[in-house]
A and B are shown apart, each in its own frame.
Chain A
Amino acid sequence: MRLRYVARKVGWSLLTLLFVLSANFFLFRILPGDPLALLARSQRLAPSALAKQRAIFGLDQPLPSQFVTYLHETLTGNLGVSIISGQDVASLVASRIWPTVLLVGIGTGLAAVIGVLVGIRGGWNRGSGFDRGTLYGSLVLYSAPEAWLGMLLLIAFAGTLGWFPAGGYSSGTTTGLGQVADVANHLVLPVVTLALGYVGQFVIVMRSSMLEVKEAPYVEVARAKGLSERAVRRGHVVPNAFLPSFTLIVLSVGFILGGAIVIETVFSWPGLGLLTYQAIQDQDYPVLEAVFLLSSAAVVLANLVADLAYGYLDPRIDEV
């Protein structure tokens, strides 16, 4: 990979982060009224917490130096304090990362593996009953709001059948291995919802790139060499068709937080998504600001990884 390609991608990512930071700065400062007035309304804020928030705003300075102050405070880890609880936003957010990574990691992983396998089979046997069934199924799932799917699963499997708990992270009564099983039990429905909501796009992307690669001249060559259909599929079609799906998987990892918001809300799963929902209800702007920053940074990072990996996997790309 050429250095120039890497430098360009890294530079673009940094520029994007700067854009996100500026958007954050300006969006939350066009709020009607004095931002500190919002804080003052909250009785629970300790003077030290107020001072922390004041440091970010730097309200006594002109706008450009306010921006510099904001950048400095943000980059050194001061994300302000929650308007509601007075807690430090950075540590509040940090404490919620793990449940989200657990939920979205497993859910997206499941969706990707199933989606890619289904897409391979459907694309290879285009027009078959399996292909039609899974393609329509994918489109229906893609058209269904995830939150709604989750609610239906809740009614069926938590309410009527009573197989799984209705929400939360754990029952909190067990320790050790029992606790792991307990958390896993709580994870089932949200993970299934997430996987159902995301599997469609993986099927569609993998299927269509299978269709494209299947017609490539080198596949014909592989057949002409006398390779079996199975060997052609495994050795020539799938590896080449996988590239777009690979990009999609890496990008999905970046959209981890965005995907979690509604599902965590439905299942009261105590991750960043639920934190976001609560911040919306409470109009807790510093928390929203941090969530916006963190989720954008995750996407930018995932994009960078995808670009660099793509450059490595497909060397043609850095020649453009």
Chain B
Amino acid sequence: MAFPSPVRSARSMAWRRRRTAFADAWSVFRHNKQALAGAIILLVAVVIALLSPLLVPPDAIDPASATGPTFAPPSLAYPLGTDNFGRSVLALVVVGTRVSLLVGIAATVGAILFGATIGIVAGYYGGGPIDRFLSTLIDWFLVIPWLVLAIVLAAILGPTLLNVIVVIAVTSWAMAARIVRSQALSVREQPYVERARALGASDAAIMVHHILPNVFPVIFAQAVLTVAIAILSETTLSILGLGDPSSISWGHIIEDAFNGGAMVNGYWWWLLPPGICIVLVTLAFTMCGYAFEEILDPRLRGLEKTG
């Protein structure tokens, strides 16, 4: 019988610590009903998004080859009715899952990469001229009305899917940057950071090896919350006609319904399903994000349970 070696490498100790922390986090998450419901909704949405090419044949959503009656209310053949081209709204909503999630997640990745980098650098050089400059930049982007900036950028860049992603990322990185900065400020004061510096670690090495792992949980929670905002932003841009006209997202379906006279003629089945999807997925991301914040900040734990 082999005993575990009493001497462990720093790396294996770090991983053991992370595993315990992860198990703790999971047990908090598991007991949070809202977060669990949110996670299930997200899982279903992701599966639908991945399977959508199999679930819906491309010609079913091609305006030129759709065969259904136009503006038909829900029936057995078309459970959610049809749109102006005779396409099944159910098929549109299934296909829309893909673009809505893609835009939401891709924009978030961009926003978080940029925001976290700015936040870590600003926090690490806290109080110095670099921090003052970056903090002012963060404050500016927090102050400028995001929708108007997004409109201006989208109008200038032109309506492609990539541009929509870029525009949303540009208008939503600042919140993450501010939160990561304040976290990095406190990590910077930890003794081990000073020790690393005394051992001759460069600024970049300290930021990557010491600050980043410690602010990573905050970044993650913030990222989950940002996806919710990004999906709502995509919807708003689409409704204003600034989305990519050739890719079907939930917001795009709402825009089509708006321009196709859904309101005047009472085509509620065209309008209701994509909006409900947006509400569900946004809510799910928000719930999960709150749960992660709760895991990170034990003071928040049990806030909703105790009376």
Contacts and interface: CB of A to CB of B under 8 A. Distances in A.
Interface stretch (A38-46, A102-110, A137-145, A224-232): A137-145
B254 A280 contact: no
Most chain A CB inside 10 Å of its own CB: which residue of B136, B148, B258, B265 = B148
A20 interface: yes
Contact of B140 (A16, A154, A285): A16
Given A145-B254, A148-B235, A258-B146, A28 B156 contact: yes
Contacts of A289: 152
Contacts of B47: none
Interface stretch (A69-77, A92-100, A111-119, A296-304): A296-304
Contacts of A291: 148
Interface stretch (A58-66, A81-89, A158-166, A178-186): A158-166
Interface in B226-262: 228, 232, 235-236, 239-242, 251, 254, 257-258, 262
Interface residues of A, number: 52
**Interface class of chain A by DSSP:** helix
10 contacts: A127-B305, A139-B287, A144-B278, A147-B239, A151-B258, A155-B266, A166-B263, A262-B240, A265-B239, A296-B143
A152 B304 contact: no
Given A127-B306, A143-B286, A295 B278 contact: no
A283 B263 contact: no
Contact of B155 (A160, A254, A280, A303): A280
Most chain A CB inside 10 Å of its own CB: which residue of B146, B236, B242 = B236
Given A20-B144, A299-B144, 5 more contacts: A27-B153, A127-B305, A154-B263, A276-B151, A291-B148
B278 A151 contact: no
A127 B304 contact: yes
Interface residues of B, number: 47
Contacts of A281: 241
Interface in B117-142: 136, 139-140
B146 A139 contact: no
A300 B282 CA distance: 29
A144 B275 contact: yes
Given A151-B257, A211-B303, A288 B147 contact: no
A63 to B, nearest CB: 18
Interface string A285-319: 10011011001100110010000000000000000
A143 B283 contact: yes
Given A145-B275, A280-B241, A261 B232 contact: no
Contacts of A147: 235-236, 239, 254, 258
B28 interface: no
B155 A285 contact: yes
A97 B208 CA distance: 49
Nearest to B274: A148
Contact of B147 (A126, A258, A303): A258
